[in-house]
Amino acid sequence: MKNTHTTAAILKEVILSAKDRLLTLTDTESFQKATPRKWSAKEIVGHLIDSASNNHQRFVRAQSKSDMVFEGYLQAEWVRIQNYQSRSWNELVELWAQYNLQLAHVMHFTPEDIRFRSVSKHNLHQIAFKTVAENEPTSLEYFMVDYVAHLEHHLIQIFPDYEPILGAYQNDFHKKSS
């Protein structure tokens, strides 16, 4: 179970396979919204770029401190301010892919003892996709797996028939972490 490269390899596989599929959408298709209150594919990918940016810092900082308390961010506000709708679809997808490949690199080179270290002080009850109770210990590995689950959740919003790659590993990891 403590394979230090599994989450990084899964993230890389997700990015490389999803990138090709995302690039099949035209700029016009990526701009369309199902409803005015929903994000377009451009805005979803923009949000995933913001998520990568924030979590990149978190994954690096977690390696040199004893807690996992991180600042949050106003997701919808970031998407609005950055106006992802005005960006080229191909450029957004490329930026998203490259940023996530860098995250996979960070994950790959995070030492196992740091990845799986039990951390009692955290705020994953506030910032994680699948939250962890404030009084329950967690690990950086949990947060990395959670990041990939969040990313795949949004890929499903773009492609409802998307089959998550994380799947069984995530389920197994969350059972063993509980």
Q: How many domains does the chain have?
A: 1
Average confidence score pLDDT of the chain: 92
**Residue 90 located in a structural domain:** yes
Neighbours of 156 (CB within 10 A): 12
**Residue 140 located in a structural domain:** yes
**Residue 71 located in a structural domain:** yes
pTM (two decimals): 0.92
**Residue 30 located in a structural domain:** no
**Residue 74 located in a structural domain:** yes
**Interval 20-34 mean pLDDT:** 95
**Residue 1 located in a structural domain:** no
**Residue 83 located in a structural domain:** yes
> What pLDDT does residue 173 have?
54
Residue 41 sits in which domain range? Answer: 6-25+37-177
Are 139 and 117 contacting, i.e. CB atoms less than 8 angstroms apart?
yes
Query: What confidence tens digit (pLDDT) does each residue in 110-159 have?
Result: 999 999 999 999 999 999 999 999 999 999 999 999 999 999 999 999 99
CATH number for 88: 1.20.120.450
